[in-house]
Every structure is written in structure tokens, then in C-alpha cells.
A and B are shown apart, each in its own frame.
Chain A
Amino acid sequence: MTELQDLAHKLLDEGTVQVVIGWEDSRRGARPVTITDAEDASRLIFDSRCVHNLATYLNPRRSQVRALGKPAVVVKGCDTKAVAALLRESQFERDEVVLIGVRCGGVVKDPTSDGVLTEETTAPRCVACDVREPRLADYIVGEAQPEPPQNTSLDDMVAKLDAMTPDERLEFWTAQMEKCTRCYACRQACAICTCDRCVVDKTVPQWIERAPHARGNFSWHLIRALHHAGRCVECGECERACPAGIPLMLLNRKVQQIVAESFDFTATDDLDAVQPIGDFLADDHEDFIV
């Protein structure tokens, strides 16, 4: 991937950016890295283990990243949808970041694995991907890649939950919610969790119980899912980050399905798209109003 390394070297060397946010190889697989010295650009990689959505490092509240200077960020097509969401929500200006798009043939769920793409190992976000060549980018690097194996298990599981009775579904989710210890790895890994102060951190008054019991955990995860209606780009980073193994993407997928049906909106890299949660249209559905 010398094309990527050469470009990063050039951008740093000529001072276009002060930091390149990308992936490097490590003792335990691929991981995010911030490169500030052009001579370190040779550490950059891109391969099927680069599952992390690096758009999360563009959150302006990550002051330790901001302090490094103007960034270039290496993005897969799916990650550009998160960048677009951040731009639409005015988190930063388009000219404040350089986007290095990589042509992608799919990524695995586990960046510490060997990176071999099979139906089982491929990340759910790669299903029916429409941006394997990024469009929202200043540069595009890498060869065109073949389509990854397709795995519909996430949609299958959502359908299975839909088919359950409310009591069965409650039982399923209660068992999942009991596992949550409120480490907030889901929120912190999320590219679009950009609130200055998360509602769960507001305790005067306390809106959501902070204790990790099933009731408080339900409140937390459902409020988070609803706040992401029409904003979630379904990168799956929350679920990957969860140390308790809670299948959070089942919630997010379901919510985005409802948004697609009700508002004809799906996550997009189109900067001019109108996000349902942030806009009012005179012909919005109102059939939920009694």
C-alpha cells in the first residue's frame, strides 16, 4: 500500500495536514494510529482487518486528537457516511479535514484475526455495500476490490426478533441488558455520539438511571438507539466495542429499517441529504398522531 503511504508522507511533508489518522499493524492486528511525522507514514496500512470507523476520531470533543493539528483521515466508503453525518450536523467544516478514501473489498469483524473474508468473518456492514469506492473523498487510493462474501445474519436475526411475541422479545432483550455494565464503550466508539454532555451523564436531574441493572440499561440503550434514528450509519463499532457482547446492531438495524420505511431515508454520503431527525417537512408522515 505504498500509494497510501506516499500520499500521507506528501501531505505531512508539505504541511497540508499535521496528522494522518489511519491504521497500522501491531502485535495484535490492525489498529488506529495517528501519524504526525512524515517519516512514520510507512507505518500506514489498509487491508481487510481495518474495520475501525476512523471518523470517530474527527469528533471535535476529542481534544487530544484536535491538538495534533489539521487531520487527514483514511476512510472506507462506509466511514464516509459517518463523515457526511458529522458534516451535515456542522461538527466541523469540510475544508478542516482531508479525506483519503480507500477502495475496499470488505472488512472482517475482528481486526486481530487473520483478515480472511468468509461469510462468517465478514462484518455485517459490508452486506450490500454501495460505496466500495468512496465518493466523499479528496483522494482515492488502492486497486478496485472484489465484492466480499455476503452474510444476511443480521437481517435474519432482526426478522426473527420481529416474529417473536412481545414477551419473548422482552425476555431476549432483558437477558442482553443484564450483561451491560455501563462502560459506555458503545458510546465512545460511536462516530455520531458527539453530544457535549451525554444525557446519561446528566444527573441533576437524573434522566436515566446510571446503575447497571436491566431497567436502567434498557433506558440507556433505547434512548441511545432512538437518538440515532436516521443518524446511525450502521458501522457496527458499538457492537464490536462492547466487552459484554451485547448485539447492539439488532437495535440499530431495526430503528434504521423503521426510518427507511417512514421517511425514505438511509445512511448516505450525500452532504445535501436531509436527515429526518434534524429537519421538518410539511409532508412528513403524521399518521402516528392520534
Chain B
Amino acid sequence: MSANAFISNEQLAGLVAAVVASGTRVIAPVTADDGTATYSPINSLAEATLNGALPNPSLKAHFLPPTETLMSWRQHGSDIEIGSPPDSFAPQLVLGARPCDAAAMDIVDSVMNWDYKDELWNARRDATTVISLACPGIDDSCFCTAVGLGPDSSRGADVLLVAVDDGYLAEFATERGAAFLADNAQFFSAAADTAVAQADESRAAARSAVEANLNVDTKRIEQWVGDHFDDEFWLTLGPRCNGCGACAFVCPTCHCFDIADEQSGVGTGVRRRSWDTCQSNVFTVHASGHNPRGDQNARYRQRINHKFYIYPSKFGDVLCTGCGRCIRACPAGQDLVEILQTIDGKAANEQEGVA
């Protein structure tokens, strides 16, 4: 199957119906009455709103849920019965993922398979086929092109769709995607040249629209952040920040979690992991009471460091897909586009100073 496969709106509805009928869960953006969207299970394509409002939470919630059980225990006299989480998940299909959300999966795979292989993350990844949809861009907080991605990036997706008149062009990005298209070949046909031209045009238009929002050199930013841990710039970012986890929890790449036991009676309980955030005071406070990140200046610096210096140094990827959710969610107006622009400017000035 080449990059020039076409699927009409009707055939896509048929494909979804067939996948649902086969018992595979299909997850797609669904818009609620209040206009907000979530990635939710659908039974038919009609329930989905492709390229509508940006879903919240991001797609990560289907791979690293806000909370999940790691183990359970039940005491029987002197015996203890230990319950384990599932080691495999039923197949599922994500349809209409934003390219920024699909890319996040691939980026976070690195840390989930570093010294420890995260079984639950990997099992959900293994069970899931991701079909993303090229995005027209949302608003002036989008900056995927500035972090090496793009509104039509296929990274992290198995298949990328691009909207054209009456349907979509489909291209596979992985072997799994190629197999999916081959297995469902009856829904696809050869694309007309006009559709290919239309897709190329819309992809280019979306790219240039997003590029206009932010254009920075992430390598230069990585170096500046790494070299300026004690820079006074960080003291300007903390005062505005409320120190909540809104930015981290809407972020498709933030993946920190806390583990806590919950007793549900005498001798029974569950151990859960739940999302956590470096923006919280208690994230780093020691048992002694000392906190190495004692104020919001230090905590916001940590957020930028982890995303634009530590993670790239370790895994070669910026821990950010430019989705802009943190900017839109921040009640205090903290603006990552502006912050990256400022750091990039400082880095550029230093480069020129050296040259």
C-alpha cells in the first residue's frame, strides 16, 4: 500500500464499524455538549469529531491512566493473596489522534524502556494501533514545528490520514500500519492525483501556519539551559506560577507518577500509581523537611530543564511535542512559546558573542 491510498468518508465509517464488530475497542476524539473533547471509545464514526476541539486529557491517559492499580493484597489468616495487574490488554485502535499526541507516545517510549521496562505502558502500546490525522493547527499556542515535529508528522502513528475532499489519504508509517492497511484493503482505493495535490497543499499550509507561531533552535536551547542552571532568568518565571499541575497533567509527554497504597478494609488494599508533577512542593520534599527545589523558581526551572535539557541529553528527544496545552491550561498566563523564544534569543546572543 503506497502513500496514495484513499478512503472515503463512507468507507471510513465502514472500516470503523468492521473494527468495532471484530471486538476491537476504537478510541477517537468525541465532543461533549459543552464543546470540549476527549479521546473516548466510539461505536461508530458518527460519534467521533475528527479535527474538532483539542482533546483533554491528551492521548497519554489511554497508556498511562491518571490512576491505575499496580497490585492488590488480601489477607486470609496468616496467608496473603497478592493480585497482579494485567500483563496484556485487548487490541484497541486509536482513530484521529493528533500528530502531537501520537508523537508523544514514541518520545515517552524511551524513558518507559530505559533501566526499567514499564510493563503496563508497553502492554498497552503493544495492544494499540494508532491512526493519526494531519492537523490544520489549532491556534497561536501550537508550536510542533519548533520541536522537530509538524502538524502532519507521522511519528508515533502507525497510519497517518490527511483530509481531502470526501475522505482521507492514508499512508503507513510502521509495519503494523502497513499490515493494518493490507488487512483492510477493501475499504481503500487508489487516490486521484487531484486528491494527492490537495493533501500536499493542506499539509504545507498547516506547516507554515504553525511555523509562524514559533521558530527556535532546540539544540541551542538545550545547551543554554544546561549551561545556565543558576541564571537569574529562572527567577523571573516562578513568581507568576501558581505551582499546580495543570500544565503537567494536560501535557502529552509528562509521565511522572506517585505510588500510594490504599487500604480498603482490614487486610485488603490496592497499590496505585497516579499522575504527579514536579511543580508540586511535596514532589521533592525530603523526610527531613528539606526541599532541594524549595520554591517555584526552582520548580519551574526543573520543568524546563527536564523537557529541554535533561531528556534530550539522555534520549535525544525534546520532551515536548508543541501541542500548546500547557499554555492554554495555565490560569496564570505562563506561556511556553514566549519562554522558549526568550531562551532561544539568549542562546543566540551568546553564540554571536562567542563568534
Contact = CB atoms under 8 A, between A and B. Distances in A.
Interface of A: 26-34, 52, 56-57, 62-65, 67-68, 111, 181-185, 187-189, 197, 201, 203, 206, 209-213, 237, 240-241, 243-245
A224 B258 CA distance: 21
A32 B240 contact: yes
Contacts of A243: 56, 246, 249-250, 329
Nearest to A240: B331
B102 interface: no
A267 to B, nearest CB: 20
Given A31-B332, A241-B331, A245-B36, A211 B262 contact: yes
B299 to A, nearest CB: 9
B48 interface: no
Contacts of B36: 245
Contacts of B335: 26-28
Given A27-B140, A206-B260, A210-B258, A33 B240 contact: yes
B352 interface: no
Interface of B: 34, 36, 56-57, 66-67, 140-141, 235, 238-240, 242-246, 248-250, 258, 260, 262, 272, 274-275, 277, 280-282, 294-297, 327, 329, 331-333, 335, 337-338
Contact of A63 (B248, B249, B277, B294): B294
Nearest to B235: A64
30 contacts: A26-B338, A27-B337, A27-B338, A28-B141, A30-B333, A31-B240, A31-B333, A34-B239, A34-B240, A52-B332, A63-B294, A64-B296, A67-B295, A181-B249, A181-B275, A182-B275, A183-B244, A184-B280, A185-B242, A185-B331, A187-B244, A188-B244, A189-B244, A203-B260, A206-B262, A210-B258, A210-B260, A211-B262, A213-B67, A243-B249
The CB with the most chain B CB atoms within 10 A, among A29, A240, A244, is that of A244
Contacts of B260: 203, 206, 209-211
The CB with the most chain B CB atoms within 10 A, among A31, A67, A183, A213, is that of A183
Contacts of B66: 181-182, 212
Contacts of A64: 235, 238-239, 295-297
A62 B296 contact: yes
A34 B295 CA distance: 16
Given A27-B140, A181-B57, A212-B274, A32 B245 contact: no
Contacts of A182: 66, 245, 274-275
A183 B256 CA distance: 12
Given A183-B246, A188-B243, A32 B333 contact: yes
A181 B327 CA distance: 18
Given A181-B245, A211-B260, 14 more contacts: A27-B337, A28-B141, A31-B332, A32-B332, A62-B243, A183-B249, A185-B329, A188-B243, A189-B332, A201-B281, A209-B260, A241-B242, A241-B246, A243-B329
Contacts of A237: 331
Nearest to B141: A28
A278 B327 CA distance: 38
B202 to A, nearest CB: 26
A125 to B, nearest CB: 15
A209 B260 CA distance: 9
A24 B277 CA distance: 28
Contacts of A210: 258, 260, 274
Contacts of B250: 243
A110 to B, nearest CB: 11
Contact of A211 (B67, B243, B331, B332): B67
A212 B332 CA distance: 24
A212 B67 contact: yes
B270 to A, nearest CB: 9
A109 to B, nearest CB: 11
Contacts of A56: 242
B201 to A, nearest CB: 29
> Which 3 pairs from chain A and chain B are nearest by CB?
A31-B333, A183-B245, A188-B244
Given A26-B335, A27-B338, A185-B244, A65 B56 contact: no
Contacts of B296: 62, 64
A126 B143 CA distance: 36
Contacts of B277: 183
A213 to B, nearest CB: 6
Contacts of B329: 185, 243
Contacts of B141: 28
A210 B257 CA distance: 12
Contacts of A184: 244-245, 280
